Chain A
Amino acid sequence: MDVRTAEDMRAGDHACAVPVSDEGLWELTSRFLARGLSVGEKVVYFDDGTSERVLDRLTEDRMPVAGALRSGQLQVVPADVTRGAFRSPVADVRSLLHSYVDGSVAQGWSGLRMTGQLSYGAGSPGGVPLSDYDRALDEVVVERGLTALCLYDHTRYTDAQIEHMRGVHREELDAPAAYDDGLLRITQTGRNSARLAGEADHSNRPMIHRIIGEALDRALRAADSDTDIELNLASLRFLDVAGAVALVHAAEEFPSMHRLVLSDVRPAVLRVLDRCGAPFAAQLVVREARAHGAGGGS
């Protein structure tokens, strides 16, 4: 079985992925969808109560979400339609997928890529196994060259369902994390940079310290390396006081040539950092997240 990343998927690819956490799920979904938006494909997300978090993550990843929704390039299929598909005969779903592909080509998009929250189908509400729908999807992928990512997360699928669906896919995507405890996910984004997603509190506090220490160690060993250690906090929704103090102290203990850069910091996290002395730490740079929300990636 090949192992690629979400960005590598091209027209005619159909892969599955098993995210270890919700943060991992949002990350994979966003990376997969963002690639489609970047290459001019029509991008469809089949919602089942998860689209808000997916759109948030796309925005945090600096994708122009509002514009893409307005232009129709990004389409969120409502949860009732998603669920309705799994109560319909497989042939109907195949026709529905054909119509999506043909429609997007007619609209001038370079292709179609789709993913979504399809766990409703795992319970076989229409008496048809999820793998039957997946086989139909696979046929359409081959016939029409669409790109499909099937996500089986541990929160919404049982281990047995995951293993079964894994078995029917030719390819599984990998989404490695430096750390993921289901609450906080840390991914390495470069030699001196990492991204934090989720919530940092008393239960996972030592991990942040470790990740900074390791990044600093790498930077010090590589003479030509950048002197900034960057942590992207765009998706860090909560940071407790001790975590904020730890970041401030870490920066203060840096060698004088190096700086700790916190980028895309959300307002709530920024307030905690301010209350913990961040503005007075000379080697700490805090960059606010650009305002987003209704305006999308403006």
Chain B
Amino acid sequence: MKVESRVPETHRLRHAVAFHDRSEDQVRRAVALARAAVGRGERLALAVPPAVESAVREALGDKDFVALTVPHGANGGSGQTTAALRARELRALVQGGGTHTGVTVLSAHDPGLDGVDGGYWTELDAALNVALGDLPVDLVCLYPGFPLHLEVLEGARVNHPLLVEGDGFRDNPSHRCPVEVLRDRDPSTPLVLGPPDVVHRYNSWQLHEVRAMVAQLAPALGFDPVRSEDLVLAVNEVATNAVEHGSPQAEIHLWATSGGLVCEVHDSGDLHEPLPGLVAPHPADPRGRGVWIARQLCDLLHVWRDGRGTHVRLHATP
């Protein structure tokens, strides 16, 4: 079978950054960019703080724009999870078509999502480069020139292939590819959780035990039968990856919470791909589909590496 998925260069992601001095400048730049995009007949999508969104709404009057989901709560700290979600929403938007000439996405830095060091934004932009790579959208990110966390500025400088200049873009000489950007960073370890309800060591021949544990927990947490089966599949794929590509033995931790199921899978292997499962694999590629599907089925799927191995946390709500 021959499947052609090469997207012409002109119809792929254009990811640009604009820096501003003060928060008023952020609002002003956002409104100007939004006006320009709508003026060009493009579909506009926003992932911006509430104040910026209301300013744009005021400026555009009844002109249409789409507000993208902004992460919050337990799932707020994972840039790769936000990128996967954004890819899903934007793919639907692009495929929705309509009479628009293109899609422009405005994203603006929100210090509320910085976490402990601002690393969320670095991971988000690196992951967006991967996840949105084949989508014909212009993604313009507004970042402060003087953020609280220097990491935010440094990440924005290297992650964006383009800089906003006047009405157009120019190449960013500091741009580096996602693998390079993430290789030099500390692991994006999520906040440590309390003691798990279940700890289980397993190997390739015990994956059915992992599935049985999830299948048993899920209905009690409010997952309906279909969602339970999907959750079993998602956990199975992450657990399989650990013993197939990581180490012969892996460990799974489960937390049964009022907000759904949290699961971590730890192996002692070294993951080569820093952000697995962000793009649908080519149909002819037999590997790499499991984590991609798991990302579609979970509210959070965060992968990180450290000296002890590769770790995945996933969280699913009923």
Spell out A's residues near B (CB within 8 Å). 183, 199, 201-203, 238, 240-242, 245-246, 249, 252, 267-268, 271-272, 275-277, 280-281
Contact = CB atoms under 8 A, between A and B. Distances in A.
Contacts of A199: 208, 211
B283 A280 contact: yes
A240 B233 contact: yes
Given A201-B207, A203-B204, A242 B240 contact: yes
| B interface, over-half SS | helix
A276 B240 contact: no
B289 A241 contact: yes
Interface of B: 1, 204-205, 207-208, 211, 226, 229-230, 232-233, 236-237, 240, 243-244, 283-284, 286-287, 289-290, 293, 296
B230 A240 contact: no
A276 B285 CA distance: 11
30 contacts: A199-B208, A199-B211, A201-B207, A201-B208, A201-B236, A202-B207, A202-B244, A203-B204, A203-B208, A238-B211, A240-B236, A240-B237, A240-B240, A241-B233, A241-B237, A241-B293, A242-B290, A245-B286, A245-B289, A249-B284, A249-B286, A267-B229, A268-B229, A268-B233, A275-B289, A275-B296, A276-B289, A276-B293, A280-B283, A281-B1
Contacts, number: 59
A242 B233 contact: no
Contacts of B284: 249
Contacts of B207: 201-203
B286 A238 contact: no
A241 B290 contact: yes
Contacts of B296: 275
Contacts of A240: 233, 236-237, 240, 290
B290 A183 contact: no
Which of B230, B243, B289 gathers the greatest number of chain A CB atoms within 10 Å?
Answer: B289
A183 B286 CA distance: 23
B47 to A, nearest CB: 26
A201 B240 contact: yes
A252 B233 CA distance: 24
Nearest to A248: B283
A295 B290 CA distance: 35
Which of A240, A246, A252 gathers the greatest number of chain B CB atoms within 10 Å?
Answer: A240
Given A199-B208, A199-B211, A241-B289, A277 B236 contact: no
Nearest to B237: A241
Contacts of A277: 283
Contacts of A281: 1
A201 B208 CA distance: 8
A263 to B, nearest CB: 20
Contacts of A202: 204, 207, 240, 243-244
Contacts of A238: 208, 211, 232, 236
A199 to B, nearest CB: 6
Lowest 6 CB-CB distances: which A-B pairs, in order? A268-B229, A241-B290, A252-B1, A202-B240, A203-B205, A201-B207
Contacts of B289: 241-242, 245, 275-276
Nearest to A201: B207
Given A202-B244, A203-B204, A240-B236, 7 more contacts: A199-B208, A203-B208, A240-B290, A242-B286, A267-B226, A276-B293, A280-B283
B277 to A, nearest CB: 11
A275 B284 CA distance: 14
A183 B204 CA distance: 12
Nearest to B3: A280
Contacts of B226: 267-268, 271
Nearest to B239: A202
A239 B296 CA distance: 17
Contacts of B208: 183, 199, 201, 203, 238
A281 B283 CA distance: 10
A279 to B, nearest CB: 12
Contacts of B287: 242
Contacts of B230: 271
B237 to A, nearest CB: 6
A17 B244 CA distance: 37
A81 to B, nearest CB: 28
